[in-house]
Structure 1
Amino acid sequence: MTAPALPSDPAPPPSTAGVLREYLGPLKWQVLGLAALLLSGTGLNLLLPQLLRRFVDNAKLGAGADVGLLARLAVFYIALAIGVQLMTAGATYVGARVGWTATNRLRADLMAHLLSLDMREHKERTPGEMIERVDGDVTALSNFFSQFAVRVFGAALLLLGALFMFFREDWRVGAGVTAFTLVTLVAMNRVRKLGIEPTRLERESSARLFGFVEERLSGLEDIRSLGAGGHHLNSFLRTQREFFTRSITSWRRRSVVWQLSMALFALGYVGVLSVAVGLYAAGAITLGTAFLLYQYMSLVEEPIDQLTQQLQELQKAGASLGRISEMLALRSAIHGGQGELPEGTLALDFDDVSFSYAPEDSEVRGVLRGVSFHLPAGQTLGLLGRTGSGKTTLTRLVSRLYDATSGQVRLGGVNVQDVDLQGLRRRVAVVTQDVQLFQASVRDNLSFFDPQILDEEVEAALHEVGLGTWLARLPQGVHTPLPTGSLSAGEAQLLAFARVMLRDPAVIILDEPSSRLDPATEALLTAAMTRLLAGRTAIIIAHRLDTVARADRILVLGGGEVLEDGTRAALARDPRSHYAGLLRAGALEQLEEGQGVLA
């Protein structure tokens, strides 16, 4: 007996530094190139006010000014200004490339991680919430990454350079401006923290909004047919109102940073201009130097302004990174083993298997309780029972969408928990009642976008399930786009059969394959099913007895327990069996329908 398959505790969320190191580390050469561009641009930017000072001081001489020198200074100033713009453009390009490359890797890893989680995690979150994690949160990070190095690192360099130049001109002015800068940065950093929690709540509201829209669009047919559109619209407005309210609150908290910056720099400019005017009036500095002090003050304001804007982006990125880290910290409770399944057709065994969707459930409340049966290799099992008896749950344990709470599920004599997950799912194919089709070509729908599968193989699979005539009508053959909703339920089921044909699995599970079909389509499906199941071990879940008329064995579930297990022929002959009772009830129903038609 195996230990209960409880969900594993989430791993500690990756640190911010850890995530940055993981995704920016491989781009170190591009980051170094970016640093070179920023250093060069900063140096040129700091040189421009020096040229301006010389120009102003020489121009002030009036008739005695050196016109040639003024012309050379003007040309040099323009050339350096163009150089600064080119350096800035280059740094912006490289920064965007670094940011998007890093976050595209993060997006791909996050998507792969979400796909690797077991079904328990997916049941707790809507698809819309998952989309918001992969797209919304990562996009917020990509905007931050693509500009962070350019604007924050570049702003820091420019700020330090400007302060150095202030000290170079007059240590007293440099000390005053440095003190002002430190006070401004400390104040903004404290105010910045006000926006982190509201931003996190804003992203959570966005995720709920995405989830709400996704669920309602999925159930649009039911909502319309039941006339519930008004109710759901009101619910949407409430969800939208919560998102709007939290967005406004978050924006207001984040805007405090730049509002404080504007107020502080108004005081800073007044202080620098007052000092410059006083020193000029006292004859301590030239007019050009007064202009220079003003220019360097603007070079202090510019990087702090950039830092202010990036602090708001940092708030968004911090909230997104926290949510992404939480998602990356989730761990699946289902782990693959190292074993392999035997070649060829596989027997299936359930040995005293119990299962509960909630780990805290006792076995008395479990979905399955003490289920045991043996299905010989190459035979077909018809799985019957009332709704809620545990039929679908039983089949999910075979492909390990869930693990048994206790007991063992074995394929070919090997415990499925000891087998590599990918290897197991290559050998076990499941055709659900609701077939998922993609807005892609027929080929991609069958191959699941696997480029290694040949067109000829796809065509052969379609002919095998009886869709050769349908294929001949397609204008582009297997490359014809397949819009969602363009197929009937029967055609969708046959396409799902063709998918299985391409995989050639050892075990096939069919969940209500003919529940929504008319008799003519069901006959076509039955013929395809016969070819599909030949030489394979199979489980067919059915409510209609005609679906399991060719099954070798019958298993009847009730309340999560095995009520009956045996060969179909033997159970049909036994008048006391549940299966025989179902056959009599079905025959009586058909007779009553026939009498109703005659009447």
Structure 2
Amino acid sequence: MPAPSSSPLLVLRSYLGPLKWAVLTLALLLLTGTGLNLYLPQILGRFVDNAKLGAGADIALLSRLAFLYIALAVGVQLMMAAATYVGARVGWTATNRLRADLTAHLLSLDMREHKERTPGEMIERIDGDVTALSNFFSQFAVRVFGAALLLLGAIVMFYRINAFVGLGITVFVVVTLSMMNRVREAGVEPTRLEREASARLFGYVEERLAGLDDVRALGAGQHHLRGFLKVQREFFGRSIESWKKRSMVWQFSMGLFVAGYVGILSASVGLYAAGAISLGTAFLLFQYMSMIEEPIDQLTQQLQDLQKAGASLVRVGELLALKTNLPEGTHELPAGGLDLAFRDVNFTYEPENPQARAVLQNIDFQLPAGQTVGLLGRTGSGKTTLTRLVSRLYDPTTGSVTLGGVDTRHVTLRSLRQRVAVVTQDVQLFQATVRDNLTFFDHAVPDQRVAAALLEVGLGGWLDSLPDGVKTPLAAGSLSAGQAQLLAFARVMLQDPSLIILDEPSSRLDPATEAQLTQAMQRLLQGRTAIVIAHRLETVARADHILVLGAGRVLEYGARDELARNPRSHYAALLHAGKEELEEVLA
């Protein structure tokens, strides 16, 4: 992946540079096709001059000219078709690489960037903007570069016929292109605003679809519909405004060419009447004028795409220029079990704001390798934030988090992601097969390993009931909450990490399913370091240590058995509390 840059030209060079041989082939096809296209009117001019002789015309010569014209015209069309094909391959290859690199770059950013943008906006930025570029890349080189060659060649032909006509055409082309360029620039900013309005629209729709159950349950459909109409109205207004600005290019072009054709016809008639040119040459001038119109017309159409592509290039460049607050480390985590240590860790979500509230304050504890800590605390006490520092979705504001004695900021993200696994309450399942859901589409993992992981977490009977085994597609909503959690455990089994973070895996389950999940959890955690966020004490009944958080501080940390025997400990108080009161305290 190229170094991120906000420069559109650097983005273009980075993705078109590796395709230089295809670009050279495209240039050769365009040069040859353009040369033949410029020669065709010469054949027509000779044909007209000979045909004018009437009965004295050379029929054999006319036949040869007609045959040559048809053959070359077919050849030009074949070359233009080949150039279109090569141009499309160049465009799609370049933008597919850009789309993949842009996705990887966004995934590498820390959570601060992702919290500022909705998933729908991200999708529009990656797919919408890059699709606009793919259309631009696949057509612009063929049409615009080819049009520029044809335009230059036609001007040269005018000079060969008559220097004064050539000079007039040169002035006409320069004025036309200059005015079109000025009009084009006026459309870039409205087009950029249109793309941003489109991203907001996609983001709004995605958020409402994600919360559709809540919207329906609360009867908020009309409210959200009014909000949708508001963002849709903004997008519509931006679209109309940008279309008006872009259409000015076409309007200017039409008006200028009316004057251009009047001028070239007047010059042709005057030169023919004066005997300075033949009828065939007069016809030739008209043909070359149409060759002037055709490439400028192509430029007119493509400049509108260029406006869209220019806005998309700027937005893509802005995304590539975003820098993560999680710089890549250089160390690998040591093999074997991993101990975990927090050393005087403080954390705020707004480190640049000195007045921002600290979410975690002076967190200091050590968890030996292969042992489990149960993490307790009220909502908002900092439990989830603490685990996010372990998995390095954020870095500490001050202090350090170490795994196996290595500061997480010095560890490569690839090594960290391989050795640290997270299982959340909300398990994300894909519209894909069972094996793809477990392996995240890694085809190198054998089916036998996938099946073994399912057996390990107690889903052997469920697997036997599937018609195609691990290759059975998972239908949306076909799994219970317990089955989804067990599938998440099987994912972790396949990954075989050294440290596991569980975010209350049994909070939404019935007692029977919870018992099955508890057994699977014991097998999953065996021999591994683990952090278990709990809202119910049953979840951490077998934990080695208990860590109680309150308002971002460690209220208590120690061996579970010792804390349970200490009547003054927070943990002992929770154990003696009534079940209903306990759930209220921990809610």
Q: TM-score range by the shorter chain?
A: over 0.9
Deviations 1:10-64 (A, max 9, x none): x984422212211111111111111111111111111111111111111111111
CA shift, 1:422, in A, is 1.1
Q: Does 1:111 align with 2:124?
A: no
SS of aligned partner of 2:395? coil
From the superposition, tell whether residues 56 and 162 of structure 1 become closer, same or farther in structure 2 (CA, over 3 Å): same
Pairing of 1:187-198 with structure 2 (within 5 A): 187-198=179-190
Q: 2:560 aligns with which of 554, 568, 581?
A: 568
Pairing of 1:100-499 with structure 2 (within 5 A): 100-362=92-354, 365-499=357-491
Q: Distance between the aligned counterparts of 1:33 and 1:468, measured in 2?
A: 57
Q: Distance between the aligned counterparts of 1:460 and 1:353, measured in 2?
A: 40
Q: Distance between the aligned counterparts of 1:44 and 1:242, measured in 2?
A: 49
Relative to structure 2, which stretch is displaced further, 297-306 or 581-590?
Answer: 581-590
From the superposition, tell whether residues 237 and 83 of structure 1 become closer, same or farther in structure 2 (CA, over 3 Å): same
Q: Distance between the aligned counterparts of 1:147 and 1:42, measured in 2?
A: 16
From the superposition, tell whether residues 371 and 363 of structure 1 become closer, same or farther in structure 2 (CA, over 3 Å): farther
> Could you tell me which amino acid in structure 1 is paired with residue 21 of structure 2?
W
> Could you tell me which amino acid in structure 2 is paired with residue 162 of structure 1?
A
Q: 1:16 aligns with which of 8, 19, 27?
A: 8
SS of aligned partner of 1:517? coil
| Conservation of the 8 A alpha-carbon contact between 1:335 and 1:421 | no
Q: 1:500 aligns with which of 473, 479, 492?
A: 492
Q: Distance between the aligned counterparts of 1:558 and 1:307, measured in 2?
A: 66
From the superposition, tell whether residues 363 and 277 of structure 1 become closer, same or farther in structure 2 (CA, over 3 Å): closer
From the superposition, tell whether residues 590 and 130 of structure 1 become closer, same or farther in structure 2 (CA, over 3 Å): closer
Relative to structure 2, which stretch is displaced further, 27-36 or 186-195?
Answer: 27-36
> Could you tell me which amino acid in structure 1 is paired with residue 79 of structure 2?
M
From the superposition, tell whether residues 89 and 528 of structure 1 become closer, same or farther in structure 2 (CA, over 3 Å): same
CA shift, 1:468, in A, is 0.5
TM-score when normalising by structure 1 = 0.95
CA shift, 1:415, in A, is 1.6
CA shift, 1:343, in A, is 2.1
> Could you tell me which amino acid in structure 2 is paired with residue 561 of structure 1?
R
Q: Distance between the aligned counterparts of 1:369 and 1:66, measured in 2?
A: 100
From the superposition, tell whether residues 85 and 20 of structure 1 become closer, same or farther in structure 2 (CA, over 3 Å): same
Q: Distance between the aligned counterparts of 2:163 and 2:128, measured in 1?
A: 48
CA shift, 1:591, in A, is 13
> Could you tell me which amino acid in structure 1 is paired with residue 520 of structure 2?
A
SS of aligned partner of 1:565? strand
SS of aligned partner of 2:546? strand
> Could you tell me which amino acid in structure 1 is paired with residue 567 of structure 2?
P
| Conservation of the 8 A alpha-carbon contact between 1:494 and 1:525 | yes
Number of residue equivalences: 582
CA shift, 1:481, in A, is 0.7
| Conservation of the 8 A alpha-carbon contact between 1:100 and 1:146 | yes
Q: Distance between the aligned counterparts of 1:257 and 1:17, measured in 2?
A: 23
Cα RMSD between the aligned structures? 1.6
> Could you tell me which amino acid in structure 2 is paired with residue 374 of structure 1?
Q
Q: 1:81 aligns with which of 73, 76, 96?
A: 73
Deviations 1:492-526 (A, max 9, x none): 10000001111111111100111111111100000
Relative to structure 2, which stretch is displaced further, 387-396 or 286-295?
Answer: 286-295
From the superposition, tell whether residues 408 and 371 of structure 1 become closer, same or farther in structure 2 (CA, over 3 Å): same
Q: Distance between the aligned counterparts of 2:536 and 2:11, measured in 1?
A: 53
| Conservation of the 8 A alpha-carbon contact between 2:119 and 2:203 | yes
Unaligned runs of 5+ residues in structure 1 are 1-10, 593-599
Q: Distance between the aligned counterparts of 1:375 and 1:220, measured in 2?
A: 41
From the superposition, tell whether residues 587 and 298 of structure 1 become closer, same or farther in structure 2 (CA, over 3 Å): closer
From the superposition, tell whether residues 209 and 173 of structure 1 become closer, same or farther in structure 2 (CA, over 3 Å): same
| Conservation of the 8 A alpha-carbon contact between 2:5 and 2:11 | no
CA shift, 1:587, in A, is 4.3
CA shift, 1:154, in A, is 0.6
Q: Distance between the aligned counterparts of 1:466 and 1:549, measured in 2?
A: 21
From the superposition, tell whether residues 347 and 308 of structure 1 become closer, same or farther in structure 2 (CA, over 3 Å): same
Deviations 1:120-156 (A, max 9, x none): 1111111111111211111111111111111111111
> Could you tell me which amino acid in structure 2 is paired with residue 58 of structure 1?
N
Deviations 1:97-122 (A, max 9, x none): 11111111111111111111111111
Q: Distance between the aligned counterparts of 2:424 and 2:367, measured in 1?
A: 21
| Conservation of the 8 A alpha-carbon contact between 1:354 and 1:363 | no
Deviations 1:398-423 (A, max 9, x none): 11110011111112222222222211
Q: Distance between the aligned counterparts of 2:192 and 2:136, measured in 1?
A: 16
SS of aligned partner of 1:439? coil
Q: Distance between the aligned counterparts of 1:351 and 1:591, measured in 2?
A: 31
TM-score when normalising by structure 2 = 0.97
Q: Distance between the aligned counterparts of 2:108 and 2:409, measured in 1?
A: 16
Relative to structure 2, which stretch is displaced further, 314-323 or 147-156?
Answer: 147-156
